[in-house]
Every structure is written in structure tokens, then in C-alpha cells.
Structure 1
């Protein structure tokens, strides 16, 4: 199905290209200021972009696999064991966040192991493991690993970024842009 693009489609593609060029040319500070000006949460958008990148990377990796292994989900192995966030249920990280009852910013902190695992109750771990489609013990082992530098920080730094110190669950709940309902729910687990 090879058809010619209409004049309108070419215009929209060119407009998209200009918009993307503008984003790529802007500094992180300029982008953050622009996002805040239009009422967007930069941290949430970074988490969404990270999730999209990881989905695209997983799709490319699956395409590169031989047919015998293409059916098996690609699991990423890290210092903390198999990454349960790399094997996602339908809907990607956004679907996991929705199923778990949090936002992408909070889920990103969990994925990057920025929250102390000792602050997470058995119920919290069980519920998150269910949303991820993994076991609670495997998830706990992963989350107990060292904090990881978020993907976005790797591209925003002039020097080598380092992982930050882990924060408490209460701190993460308060600083992740969660709704009051989400905060109550997560604190109750």
C-alpha cells in the first residue's frame, strides 16, 4: 500500500520535524520552563518518555531475536537480579501504574530503585508484583539492589551522573505528584 502523501500530510510531517528540532535544540532548563508554563509536570513527561524508549528498545530487541526466542519476553538482568519492570504487562509502564494505583513518576522511582525496600510492606510488594506480573520475592530482591541513575539524568548531565541516595516511602509518596487519593491508597498498603 504505497500511496502518495497529500499536501496536508507533508505539511504536518514538516511541522512535526520543526517541533522535534526545537525540542532537541532547547536546553533542559528551557524545556522545563516551557512545560511548566503550559501546566505539564516535567517529571511525569520524562517518565513517559523513558517508558516509550524502553518499549521501543524492547520491540527492537525482540525483532532482532531469532524466531525460537522471539515468543519469550525479554527480561533485563541487572545488579539486583532480573528486572521485573522490563517484563511488562499489556499497556507498558502506564498500564502498570494505572493497575497499581500510582502515577508514572512514582513508578519510575520504584523502577530506578530510589525507594528503600525496607519501607515497603508485604502488601505493597504483593500488589506491585501483581501489577507487574511477577513474584513478590523476585520484586523485593530487585528493589533491594543499588539505586540506578534514571535514564533521563544520563542525558541531562555534563558530567557523569551518579545514583542518588534512596528515599523513604513516605518521602516518595509526598514528592511524586500523586493525587490525594493515590497518596492515601499507597500509604495504606
Structure 2
């Protein structure tokens, strides 16, 4: 779906960029305090950071920058199968979210397999697979896997954090900060 962005979408993208610049300038303690103060879900920060990385990576790829190094989490994903969220359509995660009709927070929950796969209809999986540019069977296998901790999650402990328990689709829709229109769309799939 290639369409020109509206003035409002360009404004929201620019606003996201400013927000991301603020996140990058903040210390981990400042970020923790801000998230707690506004009652925000840490997954939101991860989704925003993922979107910023995707934009930066797309810009870098267009400028023929050297290929990124393979991280441990990417290597683990390669060993366990293909991550359909690594196969990005134009526009990165933000473009996938826009095409699918959700926000980055909700998409991040799907990406981290925090939504129970048995709650997802065949139409839901097919539509998400289309937005990701992958096959529905491959996506269904991926989503059925265990929940995972985002690779860039920060923690202050000697013990690595464990992935949260999966939630129902209804819970994910209600707790992801979706607009009413997005909620209706996702519930209809």
C-alpha cells in the first residue's frame, strides 16, 4: 500500500522524532521516573525505540552504510527460525503498524509474542502477515512461540528478566493505548 502521507501523518512522524530525541538524551533513571510518573507501559518505550531504529536503518541502507553486526538475539532468532517482524515492509515497524491498523505499542506486543496465539483468528494472522510481507503460516508458527523479553530491555539486577506471561488479545487491545477506531478494527478481524 503505497500512498502519500497526509500533513497530519507527517506532523505526527516529526513529533515522534522529537520525542525520540528526548528519550535518547535522557538517562535510564530519568526514563524510569518519567514512565512511572505518566503510568506508561515500558513496552511503549521499546516499540518507539524499535521504530526509531527502523527509520535510522532505512536511512542508513539508502545511503549504503556498512551492514550492521549480528547481535546475540538476532543469532538466537536465526537458530530458532525466521522472525517475520525482521522482514519489514517500507516504512519499518511504523509502516507495518499503519498498514495493519494499530499502534507501535500493540505491534510490539505481537512482536514479543506477548499475546496468546490461540486468540488470534486466521483473518487476523493473514492481515498481519500481509502488512509484514510474510506468509501467514510462518507468522502463525512464530506467534505460537514462547513470549520473549525485548533484546534492548534494561534491567538493574544480577538476574536477567524473564518474559511476561502472555495476555489475551482483548487485554492487549485494551491496554495498548489504541484509538477507538483501531480497537474496533482489530476486534473485527
Taking structure 2 as the reference length, the TM-score comes to 0.70
Is residue 32 from structure 1 mapped to residue 32 from structure 2 by the alignment? no
Partner of residue 144, structure 1 = 144
1:108-127 pair list within 5 angstroms: 108-127=108-127
Q: Counterparts of 1:154-173 in structure 2 under 5 Å?
A: 154-158=153-157, 159-173=159-173
CA distance, structure 1, for counterparts of residue 26 and residue 46 of structure 2: 13
Structure-to-structure mapping, 1:1-189, within 5 angstroms:
23-24=26-27, 26-32=29-35, 36=38, 43-53=43-53, 63-64=66-67, 77=78, 79=80, 81-152=81-152, 154-158=153-157, 159-189=159-189
Deviation at 1:50, TM superposition (A): 2.3
Residue ranges of structure 1 left out of the alignment (5+ in a row): 1-18, 66-75
**Distance in structure 2 (CA, Å) of the matches to 1:141 and 1:32:** 33
> Does the CA-based 8 Å contact 1:50-1:151 persist in structure 2?
no
Alpha-carbon distance, 1:29 to partner: 2.7
Q: Which runs of 5+ in 2 are unaligned?
A: 1-21, 69-76
CA-CA distance at 1:155 after TM superposition: 1.1
Structure 2 CA distance for aligned equivalents of residues 176 and 160 of structure 1: 25
Distance 2:91 2:24 in 1: 28
Q: Distance in 2 between matches of 1:171 and 1:20?
A: 27
- Call closer, same or farther: CA 1:162–1:21 in 2, change over 3 Å: closer
Runs of 4 or more consecutive aligned structure 1 residues displaced over 6 Å after TM superposition:
none
Q: Secondary structure at the match of 2:82?
A: strand
Name the residue aligned to 1:6: none
Residues 44 and 57 of structure 1: is their aligned pair in 2 closer, same or farther, counting only changes over 3 Å?
A: same
Shift of 1:130: 0.3
